[in-house]
Copies of this chain bind each other. A is one copy, B any other.
Amino acid sequence: MTKGRLEAFTDGVLAIIITIMVLEMKVPHGGDFKDLEPLLPVFLSYVLSFIYLAIYWNNHHHMMQTVTHVNGKILWANMHLLFWLSLVPFVTGWMGENHFTIASVSTYGIVLLGAAIAYWLLQRLIIKSHGKDSILALALGKDLKGKISPILYVIGILGAFLNIWISGIMFILVAIIWLAPDMRIEHALKNKTNKL
Contact = CB atoms under 8 A, between A and B. Distances in A.
Interface of A: 1-2, 5, 7-9, 11-20, 22-25, 27-33, 35-36, 47, 50, 54, 57-58, 61, 64-65, 71-72, 75-76, 79, 82-83, 86-87, 89-90, 93-94, 97-99, 101, 103-104, 107, 179-183, 186
Contact of A5 (B7, B28, B182): B7
Contact of A36 (B20, B107, B186): B107
Contacts of A107: 33, 36
Given A27-B90, A72-B180, A107-B36, A15 B16 contact: yes
19 contacts: A1-B65, A2-B65, A9-B14, A12-B12, A12-B15, A15-B15, A15-B16, A16-B20, A18-B86, A19-B86, A20-B20, A31-B104, A32-B101, A50-B83, A58-B79, A71-B186, A72-B182, A72-B186, A75-B182
A121 to B, nearest CB: 15
B61 A22 contact: no
Contact of A103 (B5, B23, B27, B32): B32
A71 B180 CA distance: 11
B90 A22 contact: yes
Contacts of A87: 22
B9 A57 contact: yes
A56 to B, nearest CB: 11
A8 B5 CA distance: 8
Contacts of A9: 11, 14-15, 57
A86 B50 contact: yes
